[in-house]
Amino acid sequence: MSARTRPGWLEKPKPVTQAAKAMALAAVVLLVCVPFLVIVSTSLASTDEVVANGGWVLWPTEPSLDAYRDILDGGIVTHALAVSAGVTIVGTLLSLACTVTLAYALSRPGVFGGRPALLLILFTFLFPPGMIPSFLLVKELGLLDSYASLVLPVLVNVFNLVVLRGFFQGIPEELYEAARLDGAGDWRVLFSVVLPLSKAALAVVGLFYAVAYWNSWFYASLYLESDHWPLQQVLRTYVVAGSGLTDATTGEGTVTAPQTVQMAVLVIATVPILLVYPFLQKYFTKGVLTGAIKS
Amino acid sequence: MLPGLGYFLLFHYGALAGNLIAFKEYVPFDGIWASPWVGAGNFQRMFEDGAFWAAVLNTLWIAVLQLVFYFPVPLGLALLLHSLTFSSVRRFVQSVAYLPHFISWVIVVALFQQVLGDTGLLNSSLDGMGLSTVDIIGNPDAFRPLTVAQVIWKDAGWGTIIFLAALAQVDEQQYEAAAIDGAGPWRRFWHVTLPAIRPVIVLLLIMRLGDILSVGFEQMLLQRDAVGPEAAEIIDTFVYYQGIVGGDYGFAAAAGLFKGVIGALLVYAANKVAHRLGEQGVYK
């Protein structure tokens, strides 16, 4: 265990203070973890156990994967999972490409129209266009019921743009000059100098985009027919709004209790985030702060 | 640069121009441009609509509750984390506390239903102990505290990042000097810690005040069915139900535009106040 050395002037904390702190920390950890544990356990339990327990299970006696087998059998959830994954991957790549090029252009001094463009963009942060005009625009562009409607209207996020721009500006000017002297053009500079140095920022911004696409459900409910829904919107309809997943939605003849199936969908929607989270978590503070300070 | 800029021109400024329909009666067949003008008619209807004012009042209520009860939590949590000497413990708690920020509102609402709902964890435990159950999820009276609890659960940990950064920049020597001058923990907090993080607190307060007409649209929309519009209707859900669901586009756009203009004015005003107080504010 690594500990900061206690400075000499700081008196030793009282046992009461220490106990209170420990309890507060334990409470934070438990408050976050317990709900997830309940969800995972319930999704693994058998129907009888869930019913006997009144709806939830903390420790399944005979864990089974029936619920997962049911929903991944090619029904609505399987389809929704594919939609979510596709939108997340394509959306994140497109968003990153546009954000990186725009941030790079705005970060270099002397780009034609750079200053007005920046002001134009920052203004949108202060004054968002509003739900109805955005909806009508998507409608008049003919994007209704296409997956493009989930990506294009949210392509570039101002906060992410500012984070990347700030990061690019932090790269020493000498590196740019050296690359120029070697005869590198803008694209060359971007790919061989700027991007390799910006892995932390790219990781954070990429994660923010991916999470936003993965978590989005509202646009799907606005723009898409129900047979094109991504996972979160399916989750909203069948778990939050309470209509349990029935036979028709999971394939044929389901034997698991709706409760375990619902919990299994919840788990599936959460797992991708839990998977990437540990790898990217160390970059958060750095990435978020560049953005916060520069803006 | 062009694709990104093109996006802003089309989807922000294009849509911004679409706010014109707040002054029109939208006819789907004609599109935005050809629909007939109605002047300020939509706004007049809006100002006379009791449901609109109820939504405004609800929005303000929820915003104020969140300001009072949510705002201090990340600050307190950051102070707690900062005071830990074991950095491995601190990093572990931080990772756990940040996590809910990345969970979608759909899942957060579902989690709360599982824990606090009719047949949820809390009620089946109460039932098991022979106590009477409580209805929290579907109860309009409990809705406001519930939403604050949800916001705290989801974002309090994430909110500590910025405070922790401010705390990390405080010079240790200032603490040492204060301690040698005989200042106890409370005086050190009051005279060293607080002044150091004041700019960040003011900054976040301003951003929150400027944003006071926006309180978690997704959060409210997801739960509006369960508790009813009396408790859960905010300006954004009002816009959604009038416009998207009800098809009254011009009227809903007027409400949305009203919110946008007031919001922008609030940010501007709050920033001016911050400058008066000698703080940096959001922008210069």
By residue count, chain B amounts to 284
Task: Specify the pLDDT at position B195.
Answer: 83
Q: Which residue has the tokens 């939509």?
A: B42
Mean pLDDT of A239-266: 60
| Confidence (pTM) | 0.83
Structural tokens at position A268 = 């599936």
Cα–Cα distance, B32 to B62 (Å, whole number): 34
DSSP three-state, residue B85? coil
Most confident range (mean pLDDT) of A2-11, A180-189, A265-274, B128-137 is A265-274
The verdict on a CB contact (< 8 Å) between A35 and B111 is yes
Cα–Cα distance, B21 to B35 (Å, whole number): 8
Closest B-chain CA to A271? B103
Region of poorest pLDDT, from A27-36, A286-295, B31-40: A286-295
Q: Are A232 and A217 in contact (CB under 8 A)?
A: yes
In tens, the pLDDT along B127-170 reads 777 777 777 777 888 888 888 999 999 988 888 888 888 888 78
Closest A-chain CA to B248? A132
Mean pLDDT of B80-98: 83
Backbone phi and psi for residue B134, each to the nearest 5 degrees, phi listed first: -120, 140
Task: Compute the half-sphere exposure of residue A1: CA atoms within 13 Å on the CB side of its CA.
Answer: 12
Confidence check: pLDDT of A21 > 90: no
Structural tokens at position B3 = 């694709």
The residue among A38, A112, A123, A132 with the most chain B CBs within 10 A of its CB, best to mutate, is: A132
Q: How confident is the model at residue A290 (pLDDT cuts 50, 70, 90)?
A: low
Helix-strand-coil split of chain B, %, nearest 5: 75, 0, 20
Task: Specify the pLDDT at position A248.
Answer: 43
In tens, the pLDDT along B229-282 reads 778 888 888 888 887 887 777 787 888 888 888 888 887 887 787 777 766 655
Q: How confident is the model at residue A242 (pLDDT cuts 50, 70, 90)?
A: low
Closest Cβ opposite residue A135 in set B10, B172, B244: B244
Task: Specify the pLDDT at position B11.
Answer: 67
Task: Specify the pLDDT at position A40.
Answer: 85
Closest Cβ opposite residue B239 in set A28, A35, A132: A132
In tens, the pLDDT along A69-88 reads 877 776 788 888 888 889 99
Instruction: Answer with the residue of higher pLDDT: B135 or A270.
Output: A270
Cα–Cα distance, A159 to B216 (Å, whole number): 18
Closest B-chain CA to A238? B110
Cβ neighbors of B65 (< 8 A, separation 6 or more) are B144, B145, B147, B148
User: Comparing C-alpha atoms, which of A197, A211, A127, A119 is closest to residue A164?
Assistant: A197
Confidence check: pLDDT of A90 > 90: yes
Q: How confident is the model at residue A1 (pLDDT cuts 50, 70, 90)?
A: very low
Cα separation values, A89 from A84, A228, A229, B228, Å: 9, 17, 16, 37
Closest Cβ opposite residue B264 in set A54, A127, A240: A127
Query: B31 — contact with chain A (CB < 8 Å)?
Result: yes
Task: Specify the pLDDT at position A251.
Answer: 45
The verdict on a CB contact (< 8 Å) between A266 and B110 is yes
Closest Cβ opposite residue A284 in set B11, B98, B175: B98
Cα–Cα distance, A142 to B144 (Å, whole number): 39
DSSP character string of A62-86: S---HHHHHHTSSSHHHHHHHHHHH
Instruction: Answer with the residue of higher pLDDT: B214 or B158.
Output: B158
The residue among B32, B104, B284 with the most chain A CBs within 10 A of its CB, best to mutate, is: B104
Closest Cβ opposite residue B127 in set A54, A153, A217: A54
Closest Cβ opposite residue A32 in set B16, B99, B218: B99
The amino acid sitting at A32 is V
Cα–Cα distance, A217 to A230 (Å, whole number): 7
Q: Are A225 and A145 in contact (CB under 8 A)?
A: yes
The verdict on a CB contact (< 8 Å) between B16 and A137 is no
The verdict on a CB contact (< 8 Å) between B88 and A1 is yes
Instruction: Calculate what percentage of chain A has a pLDDT beyond 90.
Output: 2
Structural tokens at position B70 = 């949510």
Q: How confident is the model at residue B284 (pLDDT cuts 50, 70, 90)?
A: very low
Closest A-chain CA to B177? A9
Backbone phi and psi for residue A271, each to the nearest 5 degrees, phi listed first: -55, -45
Query: B182 — contact with chain A (CB < 8 Å)?
Result: no
Instruction: Calculate what percentage of chain A has a pLDDT beyond 70.
Output: 83
CA B38 to chain centre: 34
DSSP three-state, residue B258? helix
In tens, the pLDDT along A103-114 reads 888 887 777 777
List chain B residues with CB under 8 Å of A232.
Answer: 104, 106-107
Q: How confident is the model at residue A255 (pLDDT cuts 50, 70, 90)?
A: very low
Cα separation values, B213 from A290, B62, B169, B199, Å: 27, 10, 33, 23
Query: B34 — contact with chain A (CB < 8 Å)?
Result: no
Query: B246 — contact with chain A (CB < 8 Å)?
Result: no
C-alpha dihedral, B240 to B246 to B247 to B251, nearest 10°: -70
Closest A-chain CA to B221? A218
List chain B residues with CB under 8 Å of A218.
Answer: 217-218, 221
Instruction: Calculate what percentage of chain B has a pLDDT beyond 70.
Output: 83
Instruction: Answer with the residue of higher pLDDT: A85 or B204.
Output: A85
